[in-house]
Amino acid sequence: MKPIYWILLFGGITALGLAGYVALDYLGGTPGTPEKLAEQALTSSDANERLRAVSHLMGAKDPARALPCLLRVANESKDPYVQSAALHGLRTFVHEEGVLFVLIDALNHPETLVRETAHDNLLNYYGGRLPASLRYDVEDPPAQRLRVMRKLRENATAVFVSADELDKKNKATPAKLDLKK
The residue extents of the domains of the chain are 32-172
Q: Rounded mean pLDDT of 36-48?
A: 96
In the prediction, which pLDDT does 181 show? 47
Q: Which of 37-41, 130-134, 177-181 has the lowest mean pLDDT?
A: 177-181
Residues 75-126 have pLDDT tens digits of 999 999 999 999 999 998 988 989 999 999 999 999 999 999 999 999 999 9
**Cα 68–chain centre separation:** 10
- DSSP SS3 for 62: coil
Going from the C-alpha of 169 to that of each of 30, 118, 159, 165, 177, the distances in angstroms are: 43, 33, 15, 6, 16
Indicate if the alpha-carbon torsion angle 147, 150, 155, 156 is positive or negative: positive
The tally of CA atoms less than 13 A away on the side-chain side of residue 121 is: 27
Q: Judge whether 151 and 134 are in contact, CB under 8 Å.
A: yes
What are the phi and psi torsion angles at 152 (to 5°)? -65, -40
CATH 3.40.225 fits 32-172, yes or no: no
Spell out the alpha helix ranges (H) of the chain.
3-27, 34-43, 47-58, 63-76, 80-89, 99-105, 112-125, 142-172
Q: Rounded mean pLDDT of 29-56?
A: 92
Task: Examine the pLDDT at 169 and tell me if it is beyond 70.
Answer: no
In the prediction, which pLDDT does 70 show? 97
pTM over 0.85: no
In the prediction, which pLDDT does 38 show? 97
- Percent of residues, the chain, with pLDDT higher than 70: 72
